[in-house]
């Protein structure tokens, strides 16, 4: 094999590796967004539960709200308004994350099409391993 051929093969391998790493990075970003969504949804469920309980209480009842090291005394009515505002802010953040997730999915699909990336299923991987056509790296 000539030196030029070896050099070309190495460059092709590096280019493929760069493409695969780019795809992995996009998928990692997508997973980060999903993780953020999951945390936010948990916060929203918890906050909604608090709102539901507070709605059953008399509006003039006193409540303590801890902010940092300070306890604030308000009424159920005042605190409920704040909780609704917090919930709406989180709902806006949720919509924003969903939009980001959709955009990331489109970006991943475009990247897959652009670089002709195909995700193998377990049967295809097993078949290729039997044929010794691919090697897996950690």
Residue 100, domain CATH: 1.10.287.370
- Domain annotation covers residue 138: no
pLDDT on residue 24: 94
What does pLDDT average to over the chain? 90
Residue 16, pLDDT above cutoff 90:
no
Contact 111, 117 (CB under 8 A): yes
**Total count of domains within the chain:** 1
pTM of the model: 0.78
Q: Within a 10 A sphere around the Cβ of 79, how many other Cβ atoms? A: 22
Task: Tell which wins on pLDDT, 9 or 51.
Answer: 51
Which tokens in the block code for residue 68?
């940092």
Q: How many CA atoms lie within 13 A of 134 on its CB side?
A: 9
- Domain annotation covers residue 99: yes
- Domain annotation covers residue 80: yes
**Mean predicted confidence (pLDDT) in 36-50:** 98
- Domain annotation covers residue 101: yes
Q: Which of 88, 13, 5 is nearest to 44 (CA)?
A: 88
What is the percent of the chain where pLDDT is above 90?
A: 67
pLDDT on residue 8: 81
Domain span at residue 53 reads 3-130
């Amino acid at each position: 094999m000539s030196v030029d051929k070896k050099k070309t093969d190495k460059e092709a391998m590096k280019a493929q590796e760069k493409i695969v790493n780019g795809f992995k990075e996009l998928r990692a970003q997508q997973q980060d967004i999903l993780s953020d969504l999951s945390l936010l949804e948990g916060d929203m469920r918890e906050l909604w539960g608090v709102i539901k309980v507070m709605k059953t209480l008399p509006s003039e009842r006193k409540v303590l709200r801890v902010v940092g090291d300070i306890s604030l005394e308000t009424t159920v009515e005042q605190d409920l308004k704040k909780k609704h505002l917090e919930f709406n802010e989180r709902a806006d953040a949720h919509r924003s994350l969903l939009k980001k997730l959709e955009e990331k999915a489109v970006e991943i699909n475009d990247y897959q099409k652009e670089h002709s990336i195909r995700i193998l299923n377990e049967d295809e991987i097993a078949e290729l391993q039997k044929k010794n056509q691919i090697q897996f790296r950690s």
